[in-house]
Structure 1
Amino acid sequence: MTELFNTLKDRRASKPDVRHPEKQKRPDTPVLKKPDWIRVKAPMGAEFAKTQKIMTEGNLTTVCEEAGCPNIGECWTKKHATMMIMGDTCTRACAFCNVRTGKPNPLDADEPRRVGLAVAEMGLEHVVITSVDRDDLEDGGAAHFAETIRSIREQAPNATIEILTPDFLRKGDVANIVIDAKPDVFNHNLETVPRLYLSIRPGSRYYHSLKLLDQVKQRDPNQFTKSGIMVGLGETKEEVMQVMDDMRSAGIDFLTIGQYLQPTRKHAAIDRFVTPEEFKTYETIARSKGFLMVSASPLTRSSYHAGEDFAQLREAREKMNAKK
C-alpha cells in the first residue's frame, strides 16, 4: 500500500497538516490489528493513473481520498471515483470520519460544470456524488447539489446519478430542491444506531436523518432511497435489527452495512471486527425485512460497487412490480 499512499499524499501536499484540530486534545485510542479479511491490495496501473489525472486536472475532490477509503485502488482502476462537492472541509466533527474539519471556503460556482465534464470524460455509466456538511450555507448546499445533477444530465445524459447527501439539519425543506432534481438514487447514511449518536455523530440527529429519507419517498415514490451503517462501534445485533425496521418504515430500498475502520488514534476506537459470517447473517435478516438490495460485508462502503448494485436494485424493483 506504500506506493498508493505516496501517490495520494502528493494530492494533499498543499493542504494544512492538521486535518482535525478539534480532535487534537483527545486521548489516543487503541488501534486493533486488522484481521486477514480486512486486508486489501492496492492495484495500480494505467486506469488508476488516468482517473487520478482527471480528478487533478479538474480540480475535483474525491471522498475516496479524503475519507481514506480502503477500496480506492480497486475503484480507481475500474474508473470509478466518488466525487465530493462543496470543498474538502466539513463544518462538523464526527468521531468516525477522516474528512477535514474547519471553516470551508465559499462555494465554487464552476464546480458543477467540471463534475459533469469529468463524468463524461471517464465515460461513467453510474456516478456517485457526495459532499461535506455545509452548515454555514443557508440551504446547506442543496442548490449546489441540484446544479451538479443538472450538469451531469447535460454533459453525460446516459449516466445514472446517485447522490449521498448531508442531513440538511435545521434548513427547513431545502431537501426538496435536491429531490426535485431527480437523482436516480438518493442516499443519506444513518451511520450508526441511535444510542451511539452522541459519541459518534454528535452534530446529527437520528430521527431527523430517518425523516429526510422518508421525505424523499413521500415526494417522489419512484426515486430509489439508500442508507448505510457501520458496525464494530459497540452496537448490539438487536440495535442493528431495530435500525433495519426503522429504515423499512421510511421506505428505504437499499441498505449497506460495513465495518468501521479507525482513521487515526484520535478517532473513535473500534470495539471489534465483525466477522464475514456475521455480515452474512445481517444480509439475510435485512432481505427478509423487505429491502430490495442489501450489501453487507467488512469492506462495504456506500459507493463500493455502486454501479453494479444499482443495476441489481433496478432489476429487483422490476421483478417486484411484475408480481403485483
Structure 2
Amino acid sequence: MQRYPRWMKQSFSPHGVAREVRGLVEDLRLATVCESAVCPNLQECWSRRSLTFMILGERCTRSCGFCAVDHGRPQPPEADEPWRVAEAVRRLGLRHAVITSVARDDLRDEGAGHFADVIRTVRSHNPGITIETLVPDFHGREELIRQVLETGRPEVFAHNVETVERLSNLLRPQADYRRSLGALAFAAALGTGSLIKSSLMVGLGETPEEVRRTLADAREAGVTHLTIGQYLRPDERHLPVMEYVSPERFQWYERLADEAGFAWVKAGPFVRSSYHAVDALNSQAITSPW
C-alpha cells in the first residue's frame, strides 16, 4: 500500500451537490477528465459545480506513462456530443466551462473540428459563458490550432508541457517537449486574445534547475498562466512517484514562476491543470464578448 507524507492527506465528506453533478453527467452520457484521470480533487470540485468535460470519447490514441485515461482504438465522434455538453453547462448554471479531450491521432483533423463545434454550441446555448480549452498537441499542426482558436475563440487556451524536457519522452513517448512549446508559441502569436496556459507535474525525478528551465521555456513560448502539481501514480501500470514534493518547495516554485514573469500561477500538491480554473480567468478580469 502506497504511503503518503502528512501533507498529502485529504478528508472528504459526502456532498449532495457532487452527487447531483454525477447524476447529470451520467444522464447526459458525458465523460469527465475528473473521473477518467482519477483526479484527487473530484469531490471538492464537484461540490462547487466545477468539472472538466472530456470530449471525443473516453479512449485515447496515446499511452502516456502517467495518465489513467484508457487508451486504444476509440469510437467515432458522437454528433450530438456538442449539444450534450452545452446542456450540461446550462443545467449546472456554469459561468465558466472547461473542456478537454483525448488525443485523436486517428482522425484526419485530430478532432479539432469537433472541438470547435463543441465550443460554438456551448456558447450558443449559454450566453455570456467563458470557456477554457485544454487541447492535445495536434502534432503541432498550425491549421488545427488555428481552427480551435479562431473558430471557437476560447477565453483560455491550454496545452500542457507536463514535465521537464529530459523526462518528456519517458512520460509522453508519442509527444514531444519542443513540439508542445511550439504549439503554445503559435497559439500565443495568433493574437486572438486567449490567455495561454500550461501545466507541469513534479515528483518524477526532475531537478529544481530543470523546473526553472521549463518555466523559462514556457514563458518564452508565450505562456502567461501556469499550474504545478504533484504527480500521483494511478496504479502499478504507471510510472512510480520518485518524490513527494514538499509544500515549501511548491511555494518556491511559485516564486520562481512569479520571477519568470507569469501573470498567474498556482502550485501545490493537489493542484491540477484545471484546478480552480476560473481563478486564472478572473486574474485578468476578462468576460466573454460572445
TM over 0.5: yes
Sequence identity (%)? 44
| 1:51 aligned onto 2:14 | no
Which deviations, in whole Å up to 9, do the C-alpha atoms of 1:112-158 show, x marking residues without a partner? Answer: 11101110110111111011010000111000110011011111122
| 1:135 aligned onto 2:110 | no
| 1:169 aligned onto 2:139 | yes
1:184 to 155, 170, 177: 155
Report the CA distance between 1:251 and its aligned residue. 1.2
| CA–CA distance in structure 1, aligned partners of residues 277 and 141 of structure 2 | 28
Report the CA distance between 1:32 and its aligned residue. 4.5
| 1:271 aligned onto 2:230 | no
Q: Which runs of 5+ in 1 are unaligned?
A: 1-30, 318-324
| CA–CA distance in structure 2, aligned partners of residues 39 and 103 of structure 1 | 36
Conservation of the 8 A alpha-carbon contact between 1:210 and 1:250: yes
2:261 to 290, 307, 312: 290
Conservation of the 8 A alpha-carbon contact between 1:191 and 1:230: yes
Which deviations, in whole Å up to 9, do the C-alpha atoms of 1:7-27 show, x marking residues without a partner? Answer: xxxxxxxxxxxxxxxxxxxxx
1:62 to 32, 43, 63: 32
Superposition pairs of residues 243-262 of structure 1, within 5 angstroms: 243-262=214-233
Partner SS for 2:196 = strand
Report the CA distance between 1:309 and its aligned residue. 3.0
Report the CA distance between 1:221 and its aligned residue. 5.0
Count residues in correspondence: 286
Conservation of the 8 A alpha-carbon contact between 1:233 and 1:271: yes
Superposition pairs of residues 137-156 of structure 1, within 5 angstroms: 137-156=107-126
Partner SS for 2:228 = strand
| CA–CA distance in structure 2, aligned partners of residues 257 and 175 of structure 1 | 24
Q: Which amino acid aligns with 1:308?
A: D
TM-score, L = length of structure 1: 0.86
Which deviations, in whole Å up to 9, do the C-alpha atoms of 1:14-55 show, x marking residues without a partner? Answer: xxxxxxxxxxxxxxxxx7411121122223222111101110
Larger Rg: 1
| CA–CA distance in structure 1, aligned partners of residues 101 and 71 of structure 2 | 13
1:119 to 70, 74, 89: 89
Which deviations, in whole Å up to 9, do the C-alpha atoms of 1:174-196 show, x marking residues without a partner? Answer: 11100112100000000001111
1:309 to 275, 280, 283: 280
Conservation of the 8 A alpha-carbon contact between 1:179 and 1:220: no
Conservation of the 8 A alpha-carbon contact between 2:82 and 2:118: yes
Partner SS for 2:197 = strand
Conservation of the 8 A alpha-carbon contact between 1:43 and 1:77: no
Report the CA distance between 1:171 and its aligned residue. 4.3
1:320 matched residue in structure 2: none
| CA RMSD, Structure 1 to Structure 2 (Å) | 1.4
2:181 matched residue in structure 1: 210
Report the CA distance between 1:170 and its aligned residue. 6.0
| CA–CA distance in structure 2, aligned partners of residues 101 and 95 of structure 1 | 11
Conservation of the 8 A alpha-carbon contact between 2:59 and 2:71: yes
Runs of 4+ in 1 over 4 A off after TM superposition: none
Q: Which amino acid aligns with 2:273?
A: S
| CA–CA distance in structure 2, aligned partners of residues 280 and 242 of structure 1 | 17
